[in-house]
Amino acid sequence: MKIALIQTNPVIGDFTGNTARMIKLVAKARDQGCDLAIFPELALSGYPPRDLLERREFIAAQNEALITLVKKTAGISIICGAALKNKGKIGKPLYNGALIIDNGRISGAAVKRLLPSYDVFDESRYFEAGRSSSIIRFKGLRLGITICEDIWNDKNAVDCLYHADPVAEMMADPDGSPDILINIAASPFRLGKAAIKKNIFKKLCRRHDLPLLYVNQAGGQDALVFDGRSLAMNRDGEVFALADAFTEDILIVDSEDTETSEDRPEYPESDEDAMVFTALTCGTRDYVRKCGFKKIVLGLSGGIDSAVCAVIATMALGSDNVMAMAMPSRYSAPESTADAEKLSERLGFKISKTPIDGLMAVFSASLGPILGKFEGSPTEQNLQARLRGMLLMAVANHQGRILLTTGNKSEMAVGYCTLYGDMNGGLAVLSDVPKHMVYRLAGYINREEEIIPSRIIRRPPSAELAPDQRDDDDLPPYDELDPILTAWVEENRSLEEIIAAGHDPDTAAGVIDRIMSNEHKRAQAAPGIKITSKAFGYGRRYPIAQGYREKIGRDKPEGMTNPGRKR
C-alpha cells in the first residue's frame, strides 16, 4: 500500500486557504497512486489555535472546511487532524482528534489521550483526554492511530509524565495489535530535540516490533517553528524515508518496502548552527507573511546582532523587501556606520543614514528645565535608544513594514535593553539566541565567503551610547554570563548548583538577580522565535511583581544588583 505523509504549513484559522492547499496535495498523492494520505495534528485549523478553540464560530468554520475536504477528495483515503466535539455531558467540549476519511465519507475517528500542559503546551485547557486508543482496519492492515504526545510516554525511553501508555495498550488489544503505528503531530523545533525524538521512536519501534509513520507540521507560527521532518521508521528503528525540514513536503512510502534508502539523507542533526539559522529564517518569513506584512525594516548599528538579523531578514524575504536604518550619534564609531553600509551593499538592500544628534539636542533642551543636566546619565543613554526606536516605528508605520528588533537572549535576560527603544518592534528575531550563539551564527553565515564584515565580528560589543562604552563595562563577559543564563533559565539549576559548577558566587547571584528583576521588560517585549528548551515569553510563566531570590548564605550580593544603563 502506498501512503503519502503530507506535512503542511497552515495559517491558523485560514480554513479556506488551508483546505484548498490540502485538496491540491491530496490530488497530487492520488495521482502518484497513493491509497492513503496522512496530514498532521489539527491540520485543518493549524496548531496551536489557542483560545480560538473557545469560539463556537471557529469550530463551525472548521467543520465547514471539513465538509469541503471530504467532498473534494474522493478516490483516496485520508487521516486528518481536527478538533472534534465531545458529545458527553462531562469534560471539556472538544477532543484533539484524527478523522479517517474513506473515499468521500468520514468512516472513523481517534482522539488524543495524552494532553501536554508544560512549556508552550496547554492542551488540557481546551481538550478532553481520550480514554481509549484506536486501531483502524484499512485495506487488510490494522493502523494504530496516535496523536503527537501519545507516543512520548514510553517508560523505556523517557521519564513518564502520564499514567497511560497508549501504544502499550494498543499492543494488548484483545482483538489484535496494530500492524503499523501512525502518529500525527505538531511538534515544535528546539535544539537537541531531534535526537531525543529519534531515540524515543527507535526504542518504541524495537520494543513493540512495529513500523512507525510520523507526520509533523512544518513552518513558523508565532514564537514556534515546526521542523516537519516527517519520517517512516521500520521495526528495527531505522529511518527509511525522511521528509524535508522546515517546509511543506510529501513523503511517499510503501507499507511493504521498509528498507533504508540513500535517496533522502537525514537532516544534519549535528550541525546546530545550520539548524538554528534555518529555523530563524523560516520563523521570520512565516511570522511576517502570516501577519499580513511583505516588507521589513530594522536598525543596523554596525554590531553583530543587527548584522545577523539583517542576513536572516534578507534570506527570509529577499533584499528588495528589506530596509535598514543607520542612526549614528556622537558616540558612534565611524567604522560602525561604514560596516553597516558595507553589509547592506553585500546583501543588496537599501540603507538610510539618519543621525540622531539633532533630535537629541531638541529633547535635551525640552527636558533640561525638568531634569537639569543629564548628559552621561542612563537617561541620556536610554533617550538615544528611544529616539532610534521612534524613527524606526515611523518608517514602519508609513511604509507598511514590520520592524524587527535585534536584541539577543543574553541582553533580554539581564535587562540590557531599553523599553520603547531598542525593544521596539513586531518580532524579536534573536530573543532566544544567547550572545555566544550569535557569534556562531555569524561564523556560519561567513562559512563560504565574507558576508558580514569581519570587523563586526572582531570588535568588542558595545551599545555606543556613551564614550568608549563596552558591554562588559556593565555585564560579565558573555562567556561567563551565558552559561549562568542557560543553567538558570533552561535547566532550572539552583544558585547553589551554578556556584558548584565553578561560577563566581557574586557573578552568578548578580546575573540571576537581574534576570528576576527584569520580567517587566520581557512582558512588554515583541514575540521572539523559540529555538531553545526554554525561551522568554511564550512558555515561560513567571510573575512580574514578586520578591523571590535564592540565598547563598549571605545578604544581597555585591556585583551587578544595581545596573546603571538601559532601563
Q: Calculate the alpha carbon distances from 4 to 76, 133, 249 in Å.
A: 10, 23, 10
Q: How far apart, in whole angstroms, are the C-alpha atoms of residue 154 and residue 68?
A: 37
pLDDT of residue 154: 78
Catalytic residue among 148, 282, 309, 417: 148
C-alpha cell at 317: 524575504
Contact at 8 Å (CB) between 79 and 42? no
| Per-residue pLDDT, 560 | 42
Quick: pLDDT tens for 306-348.
999 999 999 999 999 999 999 999 999 999 999 999 999 999 9
Confidence class of residue 261 from pLDDT cuts 50, 70 and 90? low
The pLDDT of residue 564 is above 50: no
Task: State which amino acid sits at residue 75.
Answer: G
Please give the model's pTM, rounded to 2 decimal places: 0.93
The least confident of 385-394, 439-448, 557-566 is 557-566
- State how far the Cα of 394 lies from the Cα of 22, in Å rounded to an integer: 39
The CB-side HSE value for 280 (13 A sphere, CA atoms) comes to: 32
Cell of 479: 562567556
381 Cα distance to chain centroid:
32
Where does the chain hold its CATH 3.60.110.10 domain(s)? 2-257
Rounded CA-CA distance 494/553 in Å is: 13
Question: Mean pLDDT throughout 111-138?
Answer: 92
For residue 551, indicate whether it is catalytic.
no
Res. 267: pLDDT tops 60: no
Alpha-carbon distance 267 to 229, whole Å? 8
Please write the tens of the pLDDT for every residue from 43-102: 999 999 999 999 999 999 999 999 999 999 988 999 999 999 999 889 999 999 999 999
Active-site residue identified among 34, 112, 198, 409: 112
Q: What pLDDT shows up at residue 262?
A: 56
Q: Which CATH number fits domain 2-257: 3.90.1150.170, 3.60.110.10, 3.30.470.10, 3.30.565.10?
A: 3.60.110.10
Segment 1-7 shows an average pLDDT of 94
State the cell numbers at 118: 508544560
pLDDT at 9 over 80: yes
Active-site option among 41, 380, 411, 490: 41
Per-residue pLDDT, 270? 66
* Contact indicator for 66, 33 with CB cutoff of 8 Å: no
Mean pLDDT of the chain: 91
Which ranges in the chain are annotated with CATH 3.40.50.620? 276-470+518-522
Is 148 one of the catalytic residues? yes
Distances (CA, A) of 104 to 20, 66, 74, 158: 16, 11, 5, 39
Residue 470 pLDDT: 87
Give the residues across from 324 on adjacent strands. 298, 351
Question: In this predicted structure, what is the pLDDT of residue 557?
Answer: 45
511 backbone φψ class: left, alpha, beta (φ>0; ψ -120 to 50): alpha
| Span 276-470+518-522 CATH architecture | 3-Layer(aba) Sandwich (3.40)
- Nearest-CA neighbor of 299 among 118, 499, 112, 464? 464
Greater model confidence, 558 or 42: 42
